[in-house]
């Protein structure tokens, strides 16, 4: 499958990063601009019918090292990818894999039902399925005007 990158997707990534930085400043003041984070995992988000699905690449991260927090209109995925260093002395010839803490805050396009959220971690891919909250049908209700109560001095 060929993945095409559209300019609008780059704008969306910039917007998401700005939202993440703003979220950190206003929601967790001790983590200014994510300077303590070791890496930023890649995320894909898609929706169909009544579900929003978030897929996050977390190779080498165990289930117990991941925390998922669902807020009113956003979801936060954070955790730690531990370094697996050999026990004897060594010298890296190349080191491209990233380790350390990670944190992603994603604004959700719809309200979701928290109790219906499911998360699985398979082969280093964290999949979170969120069920969209149904919008209540607009109903027309006729309000009957009542006579004022004499004790309240109504007109």
pLDDT band at 31 (very low <50, low <70, confident <90, very high): very low
What class, spelled out in words, does domain 7-83+98-135 have in CATH?
Answer: mainly beta
Q: Enter the DSSP assignment of 117.
A: -
| Vertex 61 angle, CA 100 and 38, to 5° | 15
**Residue 128, pLDDT above cutoff 90:** yes
Token pair of 99, please? 């380790």
- pLDDT tens per residue across span 55-81: 999 999 999 999 999 987 789 999 999
Q: How far apart are CA 68 and CA 114, in angstroms?
A: 12
Q: What is the mean pLDDT of residues 97-125?
A: 91
Share of the chain above pLDDT 70, in %: 74
Q: Is 93 or 30 the better-scoring residue by pLDDT?
A: 93
Q: Say if strands 43-48 and 51-57 run parallel, antiparallel, or are unpaired.
A: antiparallel
Q: Is 148 or 120 the better-scoring residue by pLDDT?
A: 120
* pTM tops 0.75, yes or no: no
């Amino acid at each position: 499958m060929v993945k095409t990158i559209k300019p609008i997707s780059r704008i969306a990534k910039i917007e998401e990063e700005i939202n993440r930085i703003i979220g950190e400043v206003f929601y967790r003041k001790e983590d200014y601009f994510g300077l303590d984070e070791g890496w930023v995992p890649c995320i894909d988000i898609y929706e169909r019918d009544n579900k929003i699905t978030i897929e996050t690449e977390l190779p080498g991260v165990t289930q117990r090292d991941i925390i998922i927090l669902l807020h009113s209109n956003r979801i936060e995925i954070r955790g730690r990818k531990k370094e697996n260093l050999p026990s004897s002395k060594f010298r890296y010839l190349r080191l491209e894999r990233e380790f350390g803490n990670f944190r992603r805050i994603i604004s959700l396009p719809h309200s979701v039902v928290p109790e219906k959220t499911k998360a699985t971690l398979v082969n280093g891919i964290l999949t979170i399925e969120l069920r969209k909250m149904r919008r209540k049908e607009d109903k027309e209700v006729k309000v009957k005007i009542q006579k004022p109560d004499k004790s309240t001095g109504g007109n």
